[in-house]
Structure 1
Amino acid sequence: MTDIDHPETFHGLPVLTLPDPGDQDTAPLPAADTVAWRLESAWRGDLTFAALWKHFLDAVDTTRVRALLIGPWWQEDYQSFAQVVDLLAGEADRFPELRALFLGDVVGEECELSWLEMADITPVIEAFDGLEELTVRGCGDDYDGRSRLGLRPVRHGSLRVLRFESGGLPSDVVRAVGASGLPALEHLELWLGTSEYGGDTAVEDLAPLLSGAAFPALRHLGLQNSEIQDEIAAAVASAPVVARLESLSLAMGTLGDEGAEALLSGQPLTHLASLDLHHHYVGEALVERLRNLLGDRVNCDIDEVEYADPDDFRYVAVSE
């Protein structure tokens, strides 16, 4: 697993992992609104997430909490995230100032992305109407009966930043995003992943996003970590939404010469402040043409060139 780590800051606040309930050696807790609180119950003996959650509610003035991260939540056997969804949604009224949520702050050393037993996160979005930033990490793979990441179309007036970090994002989640009413959304980032891990999104599923009609305030679009990156690049090359973007990411996927040619022959990209194409399979000549086209006007990250095997197999940056 690459391009994934625990954030040191979240929503502009330093991240603090809540100490164990019985830990007598920790310093006094900081003021509730000065840190982003991270909850982690795995590998803590008999501590369940439900017990840790109760401790959090008792120990911290949750009426002042602004940012919250959910780390490894299981006690054993990678239990479903549904229990966390129920706790968060059920206690939402105790968090009137919550502005940012990170669901699944887990790295590869703790659990492979495809093993995370996610759930339908719609109740969380609906419960926190002041939420401005949401990051969701986890796959859609339902291999061996594991739970599947889910989302239904929602209406939310405050959400400005939405990220799905996945090695296989289900197409129904992508379609639900496009069908949602999010008038304040400025930053959308979708790690689409591969079909091997549940990422079955087709270019047609992206139509509402690419048309520009879905989110009038959108300024950054990331359609990345995809095994169909060339097809996405070809669609982006003529997509109406691009004209009003400030930044665009097609990084972390299998972008090759076909996709690069589409970008070079498509609509102008020189209005962008940044274009992220890192982790790609584009040949040296086309890389040079992209750099010449964009010049000093656009901050273009086209580093991390990868090389396909003799059978032209390409891999995305984040899969399992």
Structure 2
Amino acid sequence: MIRSHLSSFAGLPVLPFTPGMALPDDPSAVAWRLEVEDFEADPEEFAALVTALRDEVPADAVRALVIGEWGSAYERALPVDLLVAVAEKWTSLRAVFLADLVSEQCEISWLTHGDITGLLAAYPSLEVLWVRGANELRLDPVRHTGLRELVFQTGGLPGSVTAAVGGSDLPALERLELWLGRRDYGGDTTPDDLADVLAGTRLPALRHLAVSNAEHADQIVAAVAAAPVVRQLKVLDLSKGVLTDAGAEALLAGEPLTHLRRLDLHHHFLSDSARERIVAALPGVEVDLSDPQAADVYDGREYRFTAVGE
């Protein structure tokens, strides 16, 4: 569960924009946050906020945007078309975070998006794109030579989006995070959907890969463990999911991991012996095995959950 907004993004402190506000001495030294106060605000209110930012802040000072509440986020898609419409002016924009909302505003699985392909097409110099939530999220395969960091924080990532990422040519991408989530919340990504990502062919610069928050983590980890892309990584993040001893065995039997700088497995369901085997097998690798979990038992049946769901 995500409980706090970002205080910084893309290396810049986040500053909420208010129409008519006094601008900082260097308006390019902040990430501008756009958010309406009323969670059921009319679409025109958020559109007016985008227009005010366009008119009041020098175009070359809009380097990073953090989009918060846009009004009825639980059922109305984030209007990326408003950002696309000003792309010719905001040529210095390098980083965008779509939907920095916390659970008190809207549960992550309810955050509604549409097709975000046009955003990438409109901003060929974009370097960082984060997306929170995946309800009705759509993406087509693209070629984007500028993107270095792509993050999907979800309680359920559609397999179609995962496959589109794998089908995209992203030669500069260094960091990719895919929070897969639960099927109950639209997370139907399978190892087949991940195949192109795990091959790494279209991701030659990738060094940090997170395939995390997975309900069927053992199955996903087994696919990752045998993947060619592992050889080029410095950081592998398989955290926040339902990882058990079976997944740990598959991980240790797969591609060598001793070249990694960091292996993140926090929030797991591993036994003490499995944890010991992982640490012993990876001398010199920073292994995060914090936040161990135990199954919940109801009526004699065990239940295990991802760190981020609804």
TM range (shorter): over 0.9
What's the counterpart of residue 123 of structure 1?
118
Q: Distance in 2 between matches of 1:104 and 1:55?
A: 19
Does residue 188 in structure 1 map to residue 183 in structure 2? no
Q: 2:69 aligns with which of 66, 72, 79?
A: 72
What's the counterpart of residue 144 of structure 1?
none
Q: Distance in 2 between matches of 1:244 and 1:272?
A: 9
In 2 relative to 1, CA 77–160 (structure 1 residues): closer, same or farther, beyond 3 Å? closer
What's the counterpart of residue 10 of structure 2?
11
In 2 relative to 1, CA 303–77 (structure 1 residues): closer, same or farther, beyond 3 Å? closer
In 2 relative to 1, CA 318–77 (structure 1 residues): closer, same or farther, beyond 3 Å? closer
Aligned identity (percent) is 50
Give 1:288 shift.
Answer: 1.1
Does residue 230 in structure 1 map to residue 218 in structure 2? yes
The question of whether the paired residues in 1 share the 8 Å contact of 2:73 and 2:111 is answered with no
What's the counterpart of residue 268 of structure 1?
256
What's the counterpart of residue 315 of structure 1?
305
Q: Distance in 2 between matches of 1:170 and 1:30?
A: 43
Match of 2:296, SS state, is coil
Q: Distance in 2 between matches of 1:79 and 1:58?
A: 29
The question of whether the paired residues in 2 share the 8 Å contact of 1:168 and 1:193 is answered with yes
TM-score norm. by structure 2 comes to 0.94
The question of whether the paired residues in 1 share the 8 Å contact of 2:73 and 2:110 is answered with no
Give 1:309 shift.
Answer: 2.1
Give 1:54 shift.
Answer: 1.4
Counterpart code for 2:11: G
The question of whether the paired residues in 2 share the 8 Å contact of 1:170 and 1:200 is answered with yes
Residue ranges of structure 1 left out of the alignment (5+ in a row):
141-147
What's the counterpart of residue 97 of structure 1?
92
Deviations 1:201-235 (Å, cap 9, x if unpaired)?
11111111111212111111100001011011111
Does residue 292 in structure 1 map to residue 280 in structure 2? yes
The question of whether the paired residues in 2 share the 8 Å contact of 1:32 and 1:62 is answered with no
Does residue 256 in structure 1 map to residue 251 in structure 2? no
Counterpart code for 1:66: R
The question of whether the paired residues in 2 share the 8 Å contact of 1:254 and 1:314 is answered with yes
Give 1:42 shift.
Answer: 3.2
Q: Which runs of 4+ in 1 moved over 6 A?
A: 44-47
Equivalent pairs counted in the alignment come to 305
Deviations 1:187-211 (Å, cap 9, x if unpaired)?
1100011000001011111111111
Give 1:30 shift.
Answer: 4.1
Counterpart code for 2:93: L
Give 1:27 shift.
Answer: 4.7
Q: CA RMSD in A?
A: 1.7
Q: Distance in 2 between matches of 1:62 and 1:192?
A: 36
TM-score norm. by structure 1 comes to 0.91
Q: Distance in 2 between matches of 1:233 and 1:89?
A: 37
